[in-house]
Structure formats: C-alpha cells, structure tokens
Structure 1
Amino acid sequence: MIVFPLLCFLFSTISTLVCNETEKRALLSFKHALSDPGHRLSSWSIHKDCCGWNGVYCHNITSRVIQLDLMNPGSSNFSLGGKVSHALLQLEFLNYLDLSFNDFGGTPIPSFLGSMQSLTYLDLKYASFGGLIPPQLGNLSNLQYLSLGGAYSSYKPQLYVENLGWFSHLSSLEYLHMSEVDLQREVHWLESTSMLSSLSKLYLGACELDNMSPSLGYVNFTSLTVLSLPLNHFNHEMPNWLFNLPLNSLDLSSNHLTGQIPEYLGNLSSLTVLSLYGNRLNGTLPSSLWLLSNLVYLDIGNNSLEGTISEVHFDKLSKLKYIDMSSTSLIFKVKSNRVPAFQLEELWMSTCQIGPKFPTWIQTQTSLQCVDISKSGIVDIAPKWFWKWASHIDLLIDLSDNQISGNLSGVLLNNTYIDLRSNCFMGELPRLSPQVSRLNMANNSFSGPISPFLCQKLNGKSNLEILDMSTNNLSGELSHCWTYWQSLTRLNLGNNNLSGKIPDSMGSLFELEALHLHNNRLSGDIPPSLRNCKSLGLLDLGGNKLSGNLPSWMGERTTLTALRLRSNKLIGNIPPQICQLSSLIILDVANNSLSGTIPKCFNNFSLMATTGTEDDSFSVLEFYYDYYSYYNRYTGAPNYENLMLVIKGKESEYRSILKFVRSIDLSSNDLWGSIPTEISSLSGLESLNLSCNNLMGSIPEKMGSMKALESLDLSRNHLSGEIPQSMKNLSFLSHLNLSYNNFSGRIPSSTQLQSFDEISYIGNAELCGVPLTKNCTEDEDFQGIDVIDENEEGSEIPWFYIGMGLGFIVGFWGVCGALLFKKAWRHAYFQFLYRVKDWVYVAIAIRLNRLQNNLRVP
C-alpha cells in the first residue's frame, strides 16, 4: 500500500522537472555567439524551460539536455551562422548534435567537439565549415554517426584532411559521410577507412581520390553494406576487392574507370543498387549481371558499352524499379508479345537502339513516372493507346530526336516535363493540363492557328514555365490570351508563320527571362508593355517586319544580356539609353533603317570590356531546372539558350558557347558620323561589324587595344585616313574586311594584317602594300614610319633632329670629300651612274613596248 503513493509522488516529481540551470545558461551563451537572421531561436528565452525550446530535447527522466537538432529546415534565410561556442562543453550528457545545412562562413570545425565524449551522432554536413578537419574528432570513441561533407564551393578553404590516422579510435562508427572533403593528401585512405570495423555505410563522393588500390585482393570491410565513391578520379579497372564485400549498394559513378565490367560482379548477390554511370567502361555486359535478383536500381549509362539485350536477360530481375542505359551503344530488343518481369518507375534509354518500331512493351509498365527513349532510332507512328497510357506518367516523357509521327490534335498532355522536339508530329496543337511545366515541341510539322492553343481553358492555374514551339508551320496572330500563362519564364515561337502585331498582353509575362519570336511575319512597333518583363535577359525579335523606333525603355531592362533585332524595318536613332545595359554581351540590330550616329557611351557595356568573366547575368543563357538537375546529377549538364549570329562573315547557331560570345553588329543601316573612340575600350569584344553604313572619318587610333577582337568588318563605308599602326596588335584577328572605303597609305606590317587576302582591302584606291599588288612609293614609305606621340618622350624629339642633321653632314662630306680628293674613286663613281642610267633606259623602253602591244590587242 505504501508503494503506490510513492510511485505517484515520483511521477508527480518527474512531471515538474525542468532543465538544468547550468545547461540553460550554456545554451543561452551558445545562442549569443550565433547569428540567427530567421529568428529560429526566438523561443530560447531565460523565462522559459529550455526543454521546450526549439531544437532542444531533454531526457524524459533526468531533464538533462541530450539532443540539439538545429538543422536548417529551409532556405538560406533560416541559416544559423557566427561562432560555435565552447559553452557546448557544459552539456555533458549531449549525445546528438546536428548543425547541418547552416552557414558558418568557411570557419574551421571547432576542435573542442572532440572533447564531447557523450556524442554518438554528429552532423555538420553542408554547414559551410572550411579548413582542416580537427583530428581531435578521433577522441569520440562512442560516435556512431559522423557527417562532415558538402562544403559550399563559394567558401574557401574547402574542408580537407592531412591524414586519416585519427579514424583508428572511432571503433563504434557505423555511418561516415565525408563527400566533397578534400582527401587527396591521404594516400592510404582505403587502409584507414577499412580499420573502422563497425562501418556499414561509407560516402566519399567528390573527395579528389585517384586510386582504389586495384592490386589489392582483399579489404577488411566486414560490415560494409553501402559504398559510395562517385565524382572522384579513379582511372583504372574495377578492383577485385570490390566483389568480396557484403555490399548491397555500390556507387562508382562519374569516375574514369576503364575496361569491362567483370564477371565477379555476380559475387555481390545481395546488391540492390549498382551505379556505374559516366565512366569509360567498354565491351559487353557480364552475364552475371542478370543473376542479381535483388537489384532495384541499375545505372550503367554514359559508358562505351555495346551488345544486344533482350527481355530474357531481365527474367530474374523482377525487383527492378530504375534502369539507366542512356548514352551507350546497347541494342534493346523486346518482342511485342512479351511482358517483362519488372515493373519500372523510371526508364532512361536515350541513344540506345530501340527502333525502328515503336516499343509496345512499355504499355505493360503501369508504374512508370519517367520515360526517356530519345535518340533511339524509332521511325514509326505513335500508337493510339500511347497518349492515354502516357497521361498517367507524372514526371517526364521524352521522345525527342526520333522520327515518330502522328496527329496530336485533341490530345491532352498531362506530364510535368514533355519533350517531343525533332520528330514528325503534325496537325493542330494539343491541349495542356495545368500540371505541365516544361513543353518542347520544336522542329516538327504542327500547323494551323496558334490562338486556340493560347486561349484554351485550363482546369486550374497554369504551371507552364518553358514553352518551345519553334520551327513548325504555325500561323495566325499571337492573340491576347497571355494573361493565362503568367508562369512562363522562357518562350520560343521562332521560325513559324505568325503574323500581326506583338500583343500588349505579352507584358503580363512578369517572370519572362527569354523571348524568341524571330523569323516570323510580325509587324508593327515593339510594344512598350514589354518593359514590364523585368527579368528579361534575352530578346530575339529578328527576321520580322517590325517598324518604328528602337525603344529607349530597353535601357531600363538592365538584365538584358542578349538583344537581337536584326532584319526588321526599325528606324530612327540608336537611343543613348541603351548604354545602360551593363550586362549586355550581344547587340545585333543589323539590316534595319537606323540612322544617326553611334552613341559614344558604348564603353558602358562593362561585360564587353572584360574577358572570361561570368556572373549571375549568364543564368539566362545557361540554366537548370529541378528535374533535369536531378537527372544530370553527375554531369551537371545544363540547358542552353540559342541565337543565330552573323560572325566572321557567316551565320551560325550559338548555343553552349553563347555565354562566351561578345559581339556588336550594327551593319546594313544608315548610320553616319565617325566611329566613336570610346568603342576601342571594349577590350573583351570579339566581333565588331559596322559595315554597309555611311560612316566617315578614320579608324580610332587605339583600335589595337581591343586585344580579344577576332572579327572586324568596316567595309562599304566612307572611312578614310591610314590604317592605325596599333592594329598590328590584334593577334587573335581571323576575319577582317576593310574593303570599299577611302583608306590610304601603307597597310601596317605585321604577321596578322598581311595574312588576309587582297579582298579584305580592295576598293581603297590609295591603299598600298602587302597583300595588295600596289606597291608604296618612297613618299608613302616615309609616311608609313611610326610617329612618336607628342605626349610620350617629347624631350627626345629635338635630339632626334640634331642627330639626324649631324649624320647628314658627316655622311655628305664623308662621301663627297673622298670623291673630291680621290680621282680613281671619282672616276669609278661616275662610271657606276652611267651604267645605272643605261639600265633604267632599257627597262623603260621594254615596258613601253609591252604597253603598246597590249593597247593594239582588239
């Protein structure tokens, strides 16, 4: 009877326990040293029980603090930073510490953490720590979980180790994650990690490792079940010791492994995950691969593998959910009446040979979320069942770069990512569900008016971000329904037959970053409503019939990186406001009717004044999207914007290298005046085309300071004067056209300027010197001598003339005096002059005779 009241007393006492006062003060000191812009620690108040604070967990009997979970749950706005205080040492019962995904600005991991003997769980990944990982962490003999990897690249120094000898004391460690930690100084990393006898999961991705000790026959990983070593530099064959592990997950992707996949792979009978993506493996697949009956995830894409695979190979792989064989030369043949043993969730087979018939076996896969059979040699009509079946695939359908045909009129597309580009689809455009986020139907044969598609009624708000329907046969006007598509960030309707005006409603696309309407039949002014597209980075309206002035408001769109308006009917001056576009790297307004002078403020194009620079401005040209970032998780392959540009005299498409191009093209307009000297300060400019205008004056003297210039076209103007000597410095110049101007004098002598054909200089009557056939006279030779700048070394000029005068006197009397007093020399000298006279007479007579003969020719 006494026991029951005692128990009640104990439970009532437990229920009123509060956190230890010493630990409370320690936590407040810890908070004080941190920065907390997102106010995540606002509940940490001296007036509240610390066991109720956010992220603090206490023992349910003793109320001592045992866990501190401060992982950043969201964006960088919620990142903790500052300093990790020594006050944590007063939490003597703390066994769990998680500071992951915060931002400690590249500061070192505190070495005192190695004194917190109670820790069994320590997670500091992606917390932006940098520098040497303290070897004192090896004192944490009770540690079971250690995650230090994932330093943000924007912080230096990166996390690194001198050696891993301190691993030998971590006898309880089961989980180790050190991805993105620099381990290249530790040559014996394999031996050090294999000493961790309790280790079951090891993650060492992107650690600068270059050797897996392929000569070793055995490694003492007795408990290891997960080995992840992607993004390192292994450049040898797969070592044999790998196939003696009790493993169920092996990731060696994105290395440089060579040779064939060995038959020993079959020893890993428990394997559920195999990722060998992105290596240099070759040959056929081992027969033992098809015996791994527990395999769920198989990724062997982006290798030089070959051979034929049939449905028989997969008979024992009934657990497969994920297959990636993309970017290989494998041939995949499955009979139309066979049902594969597996039910896939993701299928990636781009560039595998699947065709020419459409693969009907995929109809049996009812759980698929992603299907990529692009570039697979299919030359067939998409079967009628396909689009209804495909509507149940949530994420991705990619049929691009085949020759699949069919009429999509009335079809409802319901997938998040849809890529049908470069096929033979026809008919009117399909309908969309609000779920579609990325739709590419470029380079097909879709026809009919575009307005029914743009004005369709959606069952909900559209989530469409990317729409590419370029290079089809679409017609009609652009309608006024753009308010339905306000989530669009990239729109490409180029190379169609669209007509009418650009509607004002396009200004409602507030998130738009890239707009392509090139090569249509659009007319009217560029609508001022486009100034509302405040994120616009690329604008391509070239090849239309647009009229009116070049809008001055474009100068407000300081995000513009590329502006292409060539081949329209634009008139008026180039507004000086355009010089506010400091992020501009491509300006193409060629083949219009623009007049006036070239603004002198072009030197404000700051990105054209530098070379090899990159900043956030280029994100519009090279961009990532969530799903494709996941798919390209190893290669990091982005999507690219593209432009057709005329550089070096020919029109070419620029895509992956577009962000490196620096080009100004003002050709074929009615511009007059001189070339502004300020343009020569654009030292990063690679292509400058001012041809076919009415420009006058001379080439700026400092044109030679444009060291990156590869293409220069000033032809068909009224430019005059001499070619500046400084142009000898244009060592990268590979295309030059100065023809049909009024240049005079000698072409400056340099390896570069003399390497061009005569056609680069023709049409300049007073120009002479190589490569022209016209030789320069002695007077022109004298005029071609470099003139010393009057502001440089001016004090030396009088001495130059004094020295020249003295030299003349000495030379004159040295020769004439000798002739005057030496009779034999005088006689020989005049005999020489007579012989020269006779030679000149004969030469002139011969030339006159030839000229007369030529004139007699009918």
Structure 2
Amino acid sequence: MSRFLAQIVVSLLPLVYLRNFAADGSNSSGFGEPKIECIAVERRALLKVKQELQITDGNGTDLLSSWGSEEAKRDCCKWMGIRCDNKSGNVILVDLSRSTFGISQYYENRGNITTSSLIELRYLNYLDLSFLSLRRINILDFIGKLSNLRYLDLSYTRLIGDIDPPDQLANLTTLQFLDISHNLGLRAKSLDWVSNLSSLRQLNLSRTDLSRANDWMSRVLQLPHLENLELKNCGLVSQKNFIPPSLSPFNNSSMYLASVDLSGNHLSAASIEIFLSTFSGSLVRLVLSSSQLEGSIPEAFGNMTSLKYLDLSLNRLEGSIPEAFGNMTSLKYLDLSLNRLEGSIPEAFGNMTSLEYLDLGNNMLEGEIPKAIWSICTLRTLQMNDNSLSGYLPQNTQSSSKCTSYSLDTLDLRRNQLVGSVPNLTMFSSLRDLRLSTNKLNGTVSQSIGQLAQLEILDVSRNSLQGVISEAHFRKLSKLIYLDLSFNSLALNISSDWSPPFQLDLVLLGSCKVGPQFPRWLRTQKNYYQLDISNGGISDSIPNWFWDLPPPLFRMNLSNNQLSGGIANSSRQWAGFPEIDLSSNQLEGPIPTFLFKVAAVHLSRNKFSRLDSLCEVNAEFNALSFIDISYNELSGELPDCWSRLYILNIVNLKNNKLSGKIPTSFGSLSQLKSLHLGNNMFIGNIPSSLKNCRELIVLAAGENNLSGPIPAWIGESLQNLTILSLRSNNFYGHIPLNLCHLSQLQLLDLSINQISGNVPKCLKNLTAMKQYGSTNTTISHSYGGAEDATADRPVSYDDNLDVVWKGTNTEFINNLGLVKSIDLSSNKLRGAIPKDITELIGLVSLNLSRNNLSGQLPLEIGHLTLLDALDLSNNHFSGRIPLSLSEVHRLSLLDLSNNNFSGKIPTGTQLQSFDAAVYMGNPELCGAPLLNKCRGEETGSGGTEEANEHGVEDGFISDGYFINVKNQHQKA
C-alpha cells in the first residue's frame, strides 16, 4: 500500500479517466486498429489545431510531427494524443499534455486555438491542453459547444478573464472531471454554473479568483457525485452561512466527498467545524494549510474516523492539541507545523497506529514526547523541531513495543530542550535523516550509530556532547552525505590512514577537536561542497594536496586554528565561486592568486605580507565581493588594480603596515558598501575617485598619515554613509558643511586632527542621530557570498569598528548599530557649542574635549537623555553647569575638567556620584563631590551624596544599556 493512499489516488484520477476512455470498446479505439478511418472534417480540424498551436519541445522539435497529410498519415486516429470511437470513427480524445509526449519540462507553443478548429470535434469527450499557452484567446468562450465532454483539463494554460456562464462551462452537463487551475488571470463572480455540472466527480479551480463568489460552498456541495475538490489560493473567505442548514449528506449534497484542498484561503475555525460535522463519514483527505485559521483546533476532528490525510500547517491555531485526535485511528499523514500550539503532546497520539507522517514543528509545545509515539510501527517521518520539548530520547523502546520492525526514516527534533545522551537507535534500522541539533544533549554519542546503514543525514550540532568520535561511529554509514557534529566538545580519534565508507556533501566539524594534524581522511572525499573544521585544534600546515581536491566547493572554514606556513600558488580551478575563511591562524607569506578567484575570502588575523597577486585576477571572470585581510603584516603600497574587482562589496585592510597613497582605482568599486583602511601608514589625500562609491555605508580610514582638507564631496556623493571615521590623521581646515547632508550618519569621528573653525550648527540635520534609540543592533551588509546550506538567513557581514570609548580603543561588532557618537576631540575648534546640537537626542557619546571651545553650555544639553559618555574637558567653557544635565541619568562617563565653569554643581542627582577629578581644573566650581564648599553652605553639609541607583560603572558600554535604549525606542 502507498504511504499516503488518499493523496496518490487523487493524483491518479486523470490516468483513471484516460484508461477508461482507452479501454471502453464502445467509445474508443482501444489498443487495436480502428475499424473506420477518422472523419475527414475532424481530420482537417486537427490539422488546423496543429497549425495554430505549433507545439515544440525545448530543442525545437515538432511534437505533432505524426500529424500529417501524407497517405501513411491520413488516419488521424493513429496520431499521437488522439483516440477515435471504434464504430463511428469520430475523435473522442485529444490529449496534448506533457505526459503524452514523455516530457517533464515546459514545452513551447507559439500559436493559439481558434473557435472553428475545436468545435468540429463534436463527439469529443476527453480534452487535455494543460501547460499550453492559450492566453491570446479565451477558450472558455466556445468550450461549452463541446457538449459531450466528460474530461476537461485546461490547467496552466494562462487563461484570462471572467468565467461567465451560461454560454461557457454550464453547458457541459456530462462533465466528470474539470481542471482549470493555476490560470492566474481567471476570475468568477459566482459559482452558480457549477450546480449544472451534476456529473462532476473532480473539480479543481485552484488559483482562480473567487473572492466575490459568496456562493462557492453552497454551489459546490450541491454536486451529488463530487469526490475531489481543490480550491487552493482562490481568495475564499468564510461566510456566516458557510454550509447552509438545508445542505446535509442526506439532502442531495455531495455524499461522496473524499478529498478537499482549501489551502491558501481565509477561513475560520468555526466554519471548518461545521464542514467537518457535515462530512465526517466520507472525507479521506483534508488540506487547510495557509488558510489563516485562528483559535483552537476544532474538537470535531475526533469524529473524522475515515480521515487518512490532514494538513493544518501554516495557520494561527493556538491552544492545546485535542485529545480527540487519538480517535483518528485511520490517519496516515498529520501536519500541524508552523502554528502557535502549546501544551504537551497528547498521549492519545499513540492510538494512531496507522500514522506514517507526523509534523508538529515550529510550535510552542513542551513537555516530554509521549513514549507511545515511539511505538507506532508504521511511522516514517517524525518532525517536532522548533518547540520547547524536554526529556530524554527513547531508551530500550524495542523491548516494550509490539513492533517486529520500525519504519522510521526521518527524525527531526532540532531546536528543543532535550537532555541526556544520544542513545542506541539501532531499532530504527531504516533511519535515513537524523537531526538533533540545538538541544541540551550531553554525555557521549553511542557507537551504535555506526550501525544505521541507511543514514544519509546526521546532525547533532550545538549541544553539550562530549567524548570521542571514532571510526566505529561511521562503520556502516556508506550512504552518509551530511555530517554535522559542530559546536560540541567532541574529539575525533581517527587514524591517519582511515578511509571512510562514505562520500560527504557537507562536512561540518566546527569546534570539534580534529587536530593536531591536518585531517588526512579529507583526501578521500570527492563531493563535499561545504567544509567547516574551524577551531579544531589543528597546529599543522595546510598540505598541498588539499588545494587540488576536486569537490565543487561553496564554503570552506578553516578559521581559528594554528595553521602555519605559506600557501603555494595552485592551478586550482574552482567549480563555482566559493567563500573561503582562513582567518585567525598563523599563515604567512604572499597571498596566492587562486584565493582571490572566489566570492569571498576571510584572511584576517594572520601574518600575510603581500597581496600583489590581486592584479593577476582576470576581470572578466571575477566574482569577488568580500575581502578581509585585516590584522596582518601587509606592507608597501597597495596595488592600483582594484578596477579588476568591480563587484566588491566589502574591503577590510585595517591594522597592517600599508603605506603610500590610497589607490585611485578604489573609485571603480561602484558597489562598495564598507571600506576599512585604518591603522596603516597611508599618506596624501582621500582620492576624489571615491565619490563614485555611492553605495558606501562605512568609510573608516583613521590612524594613518592622511592630510589635506576633509573633502566636501563626501557629504554630496556618499549619501548612504552611516559611519565616517577619519580620526588620528593630519586633516586640516574647517568641517565641511556638506557633511550635514549625511542624514544616515550615526558615527562621526574626526578626532586627533588639525581641524579648526566652529562646530557647525547644521549638525542638527544628521537625522539618524535625532532618532531615539535604534532598531538594529548591528550594521550588516549583504554581499555576494556563497549560500550556507545550514544558514537560516541570507549571507551578510556584521561590520565592526575600533572606537575610542571612554579612553580605551574598543572593537564594536554586535552592538555597533546602537552606537550614535560624535567625536571631534583633540582638534583646534573654537567658539561655542551650538544649541542645535541638543536636538540630536539619539546621541550615546559626545566628545569635544581638547579644543579651544568657549562660552556657556546650552541650557538644553539635558535633552540628550541617552548619553552614556560626555567629555568636554580641556576647553574654555564658562558659566554654570546647566541644571538639565542632571536629567541625563545614564551617564557613566563625564569629564568637565580643565575649563572655567563656576557656581554650584547641581545637587540631588548622580552628578555627585562621579569622582572629584571630573570637575577639577575649574577654580570657581563648588559643591559635592568637590571639597570646596559653596558660599552659604553649612559646615559639614557637603551636599547630598546619593548612591548610584542606576548601577553606573566607569567601564565599557554595557549590553544592558543598549537593550534598555532599544526597548525605549520600540515603546516610543
């Protein structure tokens, strides 16, 4: 018996009809020669159909070549796709579907059928034109004239317009099979015409717009012989009278309805419950996936004792799974995935002893998996991923089960809370797919797993498993193609001459100890397209044979090992354009050319010295979109051939020993999003060619010897800039007012330069800094890297930046998107702080220290309530400290020292919690925490000293601070 009997029966219905027409001696030619040649007028009509349709396969071959005018081809009853009546010679069947010609792909037809060609076939009772393009004329306008039709399939024919009986389908009163599905341009205002088709057994209107057909259910259910109904993605909406009271299985409605598919509509659970009670005795297959069902699962499912196939996935069902589900003892297929179901899995599931497929994934279920489920002998697929299930995996199930054998071939329990070790699963000898990743499994992995000879996928990653994985774990796994043991505490104890029994597609062993030697068994693998042996304790060189392996590689990760030595250039021709990660090792020497013939290359934190080979990349066959060679020992001038790499999105060369000028060819990188050149020895100006990099989001060139005025074109051309860091260079002149046009800018660092003039008033136009908080914790860029077969999101890069934060150089990655900062410190700025800067209420850090600024602080400075760090030290500010500053409760760093502030420090706030050094160098300043008392204060009063109730620390910005900022933004 088939796995899902009902589904297959439905799919074979067209073949059943075809067989009936072919085998019925009174209506068809059968398999013998026809007694009478086909009628001349019908032959001419078919030749006209051939001329009009011009059907060819993908190679241009005429699929109707058997239709011709030669004497040998005069008998149209012998033509492919044609059947005639044995007695009269009339054409009764025309089947031009793909199966007739033995092709599975779409084929081409360049013409269209006209009215006169088909209506000559007056005795036609079977017509299949599926997958032909009939969009130029609506065949429904004349199809009603073929009144003898019993089978009509016009699915996927690009029909458009309204179904407008009675001149169309309503005349086909003998029709038993009707499929006009998946014609995205069809619509019907009513289904009144359907009730005329009283002989219908199968009706498929999927993808037809029935949003205005409020009578759809009442009309359809008046069909007394209807067995199969498919109305997928029709825009149906449940009506109050979903099933009129006058309809019942005993009142001329469809008594035989066995299969219903209403997926992709907008239905209500209440209306479904009425439907279930009406057809509880006949339904075998019911599909309601993606139907926007809400509320609880109807208890009426417990009465569906004949149901074998039920799909309620991708809805909004909530609450617990009814115990009554255990009454559906005939059920073979059950899918409740991607809902909001909670509570435990009912023990009654064990009563469904015929179950073959069970998917409860992506819900909120908890508790242990009922033991009875493990004893369902027929179960082939069990998916409960993405829940909160707890407890242990089955132990000694076979001893307590009545099963002589198990059928389980797929077990997916990823992303739950399961505990314990990976047990002996040999009782599931048919197991093909085993996924247990992201749980709380601990202990060891049983060697018995090596006995699962049918296993193709083994994923136990992201657990707390420990111990040794030996050759015994793989002894009989000759069919294994997907292996993921990553992010555990496992060690592979494999001999150097081991020859595995498998050929893997994916080798994922990240954070498993596979060293200290480079794993030589990889030399036997010819098929893998993804390899991860990162953080594997390998302290060896990369053998030359490794680069000559033939696999069609897409992703390779060898990062965070102690790989050493150089990489010799290789003639390796990548099958595609992979992503290569060799970062955080001790590799040295020049970078070979073949490593640049990829989609993305991560080489940071090594000892590479040269990248001259970059200029050997063929521009015509270049796919490199990501290059990171930061924290290496690159020296000398950068080669000026970047125009060869015109699709680059990310370039990170920071923290090297590069010198000379920034190459003008960077301006050819029109798709560049992030450029890091910091902490090198570059000289000269920022090349004006960079104005062509209009997609640039991050420009970081600090810690160099660049000079000249800050280019005004940055504010004109680089409108997407989020980060601009030019700190610690030799820039001079005024801050260009054009920078105020950068509405997306979140971080501006021009510190430690020779910049003079005033702080621009127009900084208030930096719109991103006026937004309270941030919606993204990271600054991420998508790039053209190879897709990760295990990733749940697109390939992207979380940008990073070295920021001087509270006096310490700190690398921000995971929370860079929340850092909104202006740092103009250590320059030659003069004048007052413009009041307008207090409109930047999203600022987290403001540093104007070590300048020649003067005047009084804006009274509104307290509007910057998100400030975590404020440094105004070593200037010439005067007057009182504004009282509003006491409203900035999140300050963890404050420095007002070495100015000319006077008067009393505002009391009763956290301003007293800072060390006195914060206020030193202001002779006229008084009050706590300073020792000098203000005039009029009583001896010993000293002001109020409050404990820091906000838990402020003079350290790095905290995650809790950022979370708080983000939450407040979302509430706002």
Q: Measure the CA separation in 1 of the matches of 2:689 and 2:860.
A: 40
Q: Are the counterparts in 2 of residues 84 and 110 from structure 1 also a CA contact under 8 Å? A: no
Deviation at 1:356, TM superposition (A): 0.9
Deviates more, 1:353-362 or 1:495-504: 495-504
In the TM superposition, 1:573-652 aligns within 5 A as 573-614=734-775, 620-621=779-780, 623=782, 627=786, 630-633=789-792, 639-652=797-810
Deviation at 1:625, TM superposition (A): 6.8
Q: Measure the CA separation in 2 of the matches of 1:123 and 1:438.
A: 45
Amino acid of the structure 1 residue aligned with 2:722: T
Q: Are the counterparts in 1 of residues 155 and 182 from structure 2 also a CA contact under 8 Å? A: no
Deviation at 1:176, TM superposition (A): 5.7
When residues 738 and 62 of structure 1 are mapped into structure 2, their CA distance, relative to the original with a 3 A threshold, is same
Deviates more, 1:134-143 or 1:391-400: 134-143
**Corresponding residue for residue 892 of structure 2:** 734
In the TM superposition, 1:233-248 aligns within 5 A as 233-238=388-393, 246-248=407-409
Q: Measure the CA separation in 2 of the matches of 1:700 and 1:780.
A: 31
Amino acid of the structure 2 residue aligned with 1:314: F
When residues 481 and 84 of structure 1 are mapped into structure 2, their CA distance, relative to the original with a 3 A threshold, is farther
Q: Are the counterparts in 2 of residues 70 and 99 from structure 1 also a CA contact under 8 Å? A: no
Deviates more, 1:506-515 or 1:624-633: 624-633
CA shift digits 1:641-669 (9 cap, x unpaired): 11001122211110111112221111111
Q: Are the counterparts in 2 of residues 238 and 257 from structure 1 also a CA contact under 8 Å? A: yes
1:68 to 181, 196, 211: 181
Q: Measure the CA separation in 1 of the matches of 2:417 and 2:257.
A: 41
When residues 483 and 40 of structure 1 are mapped into structure 2, their CA distance, relative to the original with a 3 A threshold, is farther
2:668 to 494, 508, 522: 508
Q: Are the counterparts in 2 of residues 473 and 496 from structure 1 also a CA contact under 8 Å? A: yes
Q: Are the counterparts in 2 of residues 179 and 205 from structure 1 also a CA contact under 8 Å? A: no
Verify: 1:146 aligned to 2:287, yes or no: yes
Q: Are the counterparts in 2 of residues 412 and 430 from structure 1 also a CA contact under 8 Å? A: no
Q: Are the counterparts in 2 of residues 309 and 331 from structure 1 also a CA contact under 8 Å? A: yes
Deviates more, 1:159-168 or 1:683-692: 159-168
In the TM superposition, 1:129-528 aligns within 5 A as 135=272, 138=276, 142=283, 144=285, 146=287, 148=289, 160-168=294-302, 181-188=315-322, 191=325, 197-199=331-333, 200-211=356-367, 213-214=368-369, 216-218=371-373, 223-238=378-393, 246-263=407-424, 265-389=425-549, 392-412=551-571, 414=574, 416-432=578-594, 436-448=598-610, 450=611, 452-458=612-618, 460-528=620-688
When residues 726 and 590 of structure 1 are mapped into structure 2, their CA distance, relative to the original with a 3 A threshold, is same
| Secondary structure of the corresponding residue to residue 547 of structure 1 | strand
Scaled by the length of structure 1, the TM-score of the pair is 0.77
When residues 176 and 698 of structure 1 are mapped into structure 2, their CA distance, relative to the original with a 3 A threshold, is farther
Deviation at 1:4, TM superposition (A): 3.7
Q: Are the counterparts in 1 of residues 826 and 849 from structure 2 also a CA contact under 8 Å? A: yes
When residues 605 and 354 of structure 1 are mapped into structure 2, their CA distance, relative to the original with a 3 A threshold, is same
Q: Identify unmatched segments of 5+ residues in structure 1.
A: 21-38, 73-79, 152-157, 786-858
Q: Measure the CA separation in 2 of the matches of 1:47 and 1:575.
A: 70
1:665 to 823, 837, 853: 823
Q: Are the counterparts in 2 of residues 68 and 94 from structure 1 also a CA contact under 8 Å? A: no
Q: Are the counterparts in 2 of residues 131 and 160 from structure 1 also a CA contact under 8 Å? A: yes
Q: Measure the CA separation in 2 of the matches of 1:292 and 1:174.
A: 30
2:154 to 37, 51, 54: 51
Verify: 1:7 aligned to 2:7, yes or no: no
**Corresponding residue for residue 105 of structure 2:** none
**Corresponding residue for residue 79 of structure 2:** none
Q: Are the counterparts in 1 of residues 764 and 840 from structure 2 also a CA contact under 8 Å? A: yes
2:723 to 562, 569, 574: 562
Deviation at 1:460, TM superposition (A): 4.1
When residues 696 and 527 of structure 1 are mapped into structure 2, their CA distance, relative to the original with a 3 A threshold, is same
CA shift digits 1:267-311 (9 cap, x unpaired): 222110010111111111134323222111000000000011111
Deviation at 1:736, TM superposition (A): 0.8
Amino acid of the structure 2 residue aligned with 1:395: F
When residues 629 and 287 of structure 1 are mapped into structure 2, their CA distance, relative to the original with a 3 A threshold, is closer
Q: Measure the CA separation in 1 of the matches of 2:227 and 2:721.
A: 53
| Secondary structure of the corresponding residue to residue 385 of structure 1 | helix
When residues 96 and 657 of structure 1 are mapped into structure 2, their CA distance, relative to the original with a 3 A threshold, is farther
Amino acid of the structure 1 residue aligned with 2:384: L
CA shift digits 1:592-635 (9 cap, x unpaired): 111211122223333323344327xx88526587755542339x
Q: Measure the CA separation in 2 of the matches of 1:548 and 1:582.
A: 24
Amino acid of the structure 2 residue aligned with 1:704: G
**Corresponding residue for residue 654 of structure 1:** 812
Amino acid of the structure 2 residue aligned with 1:474: L
Deviation at 1:508, TM superposition (A): 1.7
When residues 287 and 479 of structure 1 are mapped into structure 2, their CA distance, relative to the original with a 3 A threshold, is closer
Deviation at 1:527, TM superposition (A): 2.1
Q: Are the counterparts in 2 of residues 703 and 727 from structure 1 also a CA contact under 8 Å? A: yes
Deviation at 1:258, TM superposition (A): 2.1
Q: Are the counterparts in 1 of residues 362 and 385 from structure 2 also a CA contact under 8 Å? A: yes
Deviation at 1:18, TM superposition (A): 7.8
| Secondary structure of the corresponding residue to residue 603 of structure 1 | helix
| Secondary structure of the corresponding residue to residue 455 of structure 1 | helix
Q: Measure the CA separation in 2 of the matches of 1:171 and 1:42.
A: 48
Q: Measure the CA separation in 1 of the matches of 2:307 and 2:613.
A: 59
Q: Measure the CA separation in 2 of the matches of 1:10 and 1:408.
A: 78
Q: Are the counterparts in 2 of residues 537 and 620 from structure 1 also a CA contact under 8 Å? A: no
Amino acid of the structure 1 residue aligned with 2:614: L
Q: Which structure has greater helix proportion?
A: 1
Q: Identify unmatched segments of 5+ residues in structure 2.
A: 1-32, 38-84, 95-116, 122-132, 144-152, 161-168, 186-206, 244-252, 334-355, 944-972
Identity %: 35
Deviation at 1:204, TM superposition (A): 3.3
CA shift digits 1:205-241 (9 cap, x unpaired): 3222223x44543478564311222222223334679
Q: Measure the CA separation in 2 of the matches of 1:755 and 1:19.
A: 98
Q: Name the count of aligned residue pairs.
A: 737
| Secondary structure of the corresponding residue to residue 432 of structure 1 | helix
Deviation at 1:145, TM superposition (A): 7.0
Q: Are the counterparts in 2 of residues 538 and 620 from structure 1 also a CA contact under 8 Å? A: no
When residues 339 and 749 of structure 1 are mapped into structure 2, their CA distance, relative to the original with a 3 A threshold, is same
CA shift digits 1:698-727 (9 cap, x unpaired): 121121121211111111111111111111
| Secondary structure of the corresponding residue to residue 313 of structure 1 | helix
Q: Measure the CA separation in 1 of the matches of 2:821 and 2:485.
A: 40
Q: Please provide the CA RMSD for this pair.
A: 4.0
When residues 440 and 204 of structure 1 are mapped into structure 2, their CA distance, relative to the original with a 3 A threshold, is same
Deviation at 1:54, TM superposition (A): 3.4
Amino acid of the structure 1 residue aligned with 2:670: F
When residues 768 and 396 of structure 1 are mapped into structure 2, their CA distance, relative to the original with a 3 A threshold, is same
CA shift digits 1:173-209 (9 cap, x unpaired): 6666655544441244794697561213333332222
Q: Are the counterparts in 2 of residues 177 and 204 from structure 1 also a CA contact under 8 Å? A: no
Q: Measure the CA separation in 1 of the matches of 2:240 and 2:782.
A: 40
Amino acid of the structure 1 residue aligned with 2:622: S
